[in-house]
Amino acid sequence: MDDEWICGRMGEDEPWVLGAVNPPVFENSLFTFATAEELGAAIRDEDERYVYWRGTNPTVDLAQRKLAALERGERAKCFGSGMGAIAATISSLVQAGDHVLVLGAVYGPTTQFLRYLEKFGVTHTHVSDLAGCDSAIRPSTRLLYFESPSYMAYAVVDIAEVTAWAREHGLVTVMDNTWSTPIFQKPLTMGVDLVVHSLSKYVGGHSDLVGGVVVGPSRLIRPLALTEYQLYGAAMSPHDAAKVIKGLRTLPVRMAAHQERGLAVAEFLNGHPAVRSVNHPGLPSHPGHATALRQMSGFSSLFSLVLDTESREEVGGFLNKLRHFRIGVSWGGFESLVNAPALSTEESVRATMGIPVGLVRLSVGLEPADTLIKDLGLALEGVGRLA
């Protein structure tokens, strides 16, 4: 199926939509049945039948079907947050005594959740490459978790190579694909078992919703939907699902614009005397550029640079001088954002991820690139060697 058709029209001409240009939002918390027998049958199949909001409803279901189709997966399950999706997915795959391998840098709260699982007897090890996986794997290892491009550093993982290694060792793979979106990268087609996303970012696209999703084969999604999804209660609301559906309609167009503006800003920063390095996989100078071209069809506008400084105060001063980049967490909306992990991330997590003091994350929005470049140029005056 064509991605643009999936985003814009798939499921939106079905009879239940009643010809509405925007699919209806089903606000009701429950659905009733003509007989007790029908209710009983529906409860036994609650991951696919409409019974109660905490299970699913038609608006959420449409968002799920679109996201599954975009990722070329059989099923999807939407959650009330990205961490809801991540926590439920990891929990569904491990039990007491199991071990998790984490490849490369991943979202900070994911690491925090893995630490939380230690009190239930689930351990984990962070490694930087497949050689590290070879050294760290145990008889109890069940899961390999990673992002590509990776968190903050935006290193590119050879997905096919990693999934082949995992299959050889009998491990399930879970990958966070939020950075690329399904428009630019489809990990399931490269052997990944389950893909997770924060829908709050590019998919929603307007900084007005919080949500997450996991996509994959029915054999893994169905037990998760019946157990962790129901018990954790991190259900997506139908109103947020409607925002996901609307965000998907413009996702292909927005990602093309994000790519263009992000690359323009990254090219300006690359080689700037106040910048030690720029971590953007779309730059030919990026170590993973060739791999990225092989497994991705485009690049988002989230990347990092390393300022020529070891001073937290100087990093904070750079952020404070910016006028068009707003200081804040998250990313993927219209507005351009800036954040610096050294000023906000727990020191132990930053050390685990290998994030230097001078690293600054930019989320390039949809404002004119020349406006953003001028803003950065002025803020970089006085940083490091230019001080």
Instruction: Write out the catalytic residue numbers.
Output: 54, 107, 176, 201
Closest CA to 68 of 182, 226, 164, 178: 182
Whole-angstrom distance, CA of residue 80 vs CA of residue 311: 38
Whole-angstrom distance, CA of residue 174 vs CA of residue 146: 7
Whether the upstream peptide bond of residue 149 has omega within 30° of 0, thus cis, is: yes
Beta bridge partners of 307: 275
Question: Are 216 and 92 a contacting pair, CB within 8 Å?
Answer: no
Distance (Å) of CA 243 to CA 166, 287, 302: 36, 36, 22
Question: Are 71 and 188 a contacting pair, CB within 8 Å?
Answer: yes
DSSP 190: G
Amino acid at 41: A
Amino acid at 135: S
Other C-beta atoms lying within 10 Å of the C-beta of residue 56 = 25
Say what the alpha-carbon torsion angle 123, 124, 130, 131 is, to the nearest 10 degrees. Answer: -70
Using the CB atoms, write b or e for 146-172: b if 16+ within 10 Å. Answer: bbbbbbbbbbbbbbbebbebbeeeebb
Give the dihedral sign, CA 133/138/139/145. negative
Please work out, in degrees rounded to the nearest 5, the angle formed at the alpha carbon of residue 176 by the alpha carbons of 170 and 179: 145
Helix (H/G/I), strand (E/B), else coil: 104? coil
Beta strand residue intervals within 128-282, DSSP E:
141-147, 172-176, 194-198, 212-216, 275-279
